[in-house]
Structure formats: C-alpha cells, structure tokens
Amino acid sequence: ALPFSDGWARTKFNGQWGFVDRDGKPVIRHRFEEIGPFREGRAKAQMNGGWGFIDQGDKLVIEPRFEDAGDFREGRAAAKLEGRWGFIDKSGKFAVPARYEDAGAFFEGRARVRLQGQWGFIDKGGKWLIEARFEDAWDFSEGRAKVRVGGQDAFIDENGRVIWSSPNQRAGTES
C-alpha cells in the first residue's frame, strides 16, 4: 500500500494494484500490474505489460499500448512507443511525436527532453524553447532549472541563460 492522496490510496491485493478510499472500500478495482497516482483526473495503469490511463470512475480511457508513461501535468503525459518518448494529450493522441530518447513532465510550460545524448526543453507543441545542449537537466521551478554543462551544475532561466554555475560545487550539496 502507498500513502493516501486526494482521499484514495494505491493498494495491492492478490498481486494486482487498485485504489481504496479512506474507509478501505475499493474504488478502483485491483486489476493492474502497476498503477500511478491520479494527476489531472488520470492515473497511468499497466495491463498485459503495456501502459494506459484510467479515470476516477475506473474506466480505461487510454488503451495500454505504451511501453512506459509518465503522469499527466499541464495537459500532457510523456509516453514511450517503439523505444522513443513523446507527449500525449488526455485522449491518448500524440501532441508531440515520439522522437526523444528520454522525457520528463511539463512544469511551467516546459518539458525536458533528451535528443542525441543532450537535454533541452520543449513547449507543449514540441517546439524547442531551449536547444538540447546540456549533459543533464531537471524540471523548471520558479522560473529556473538545474542543468549540468561541462561537468558542472548550473541554473538557467526560462530562456536558457546560465544564471549561476560553480566549478567547485554541485548544486544542492554543501562544500
């Protein structure tokens, strides 16, 4: 079992995952190999090895046809198909084609994606906002994102301009 969120908890029963309410009553049948938390009215769910999405009425709203999937954020979820990541909308259609090596979730209108071994940021339509040029990247928060460039941690603004870097210390660690 996992902690409660929005009044429901993810629980495992007879090897299958579902949700129970605060009284322990099943609200989503225990029929999934794995299941994620509800985000924006959808939860990723794995059946027969594939990932799809259910709604809070226990209805499968996006068929489990993906190799992997992320949670919905800002109307999009990362989804992996044929070894590549893209972003689907709430109907399950690709809003951004599956062409990336890896992908994160949308935060502040930007999602981090990896292409040719480098990370950058795209908008909800797949347009590059910050070209892929970082060794690693984290999600945006408060208009800033942590990145790794030249083996050093740095922070960038929403335009990709480095606003802080240190050759002697990694961001989030003490010297």
Q: Residue 121 in contact with residue 115, Cβ under 8 Å? A: no
CA–CA distance from 41 to each of 36, 44, 75 (Å)?
A: 12, 10, 10
For residue range 57-78, what is the model confidence (pLDDT) as tens digits? 999 999 999 999 999 999 999 9
The average pLDDT across 108-123 equals 98
Residue 17 reports pLDDT greater than 80:
yes
Q: Across residues 26-39, what is the average pLDDT? A: 97
Ranking 29-38, 45-54, 162-171 by mean pLDDT, the lowest is 162-171
Q: What is the pLDDT of residue 175?
A: 46
Average predicted confidence (pLDDT) for the chain? 95
| pLDDT > 70? residue 45 | yes
- What global pTM score does this model have? 0.92
* 128, 119 contact by CB (below 8 A): no
Inter-CA distances, 170 with 36, 90, 148, 164, 173, Å:
31, 37, 9, 11, 6
Calculate mean pLDDT across residues 90-113: 98
| Residue located via tokens 């970082």 | 134
In angstroms, the CA 153 to CA 137 distance is 9
C-alpha to C-alpha distance for 128 and 112, rounded to whole angstroms: 10
**Integer Cα distance of 93 and 114 in angstroms:** 21
Whether the per-residue pLDDT at 144 is higher than 50: the answer is yes
Condensed to tens digits (0 to 9), the pLDDT of residues 74-101 reads 999 999 999 999 999 999 999 999 999 9
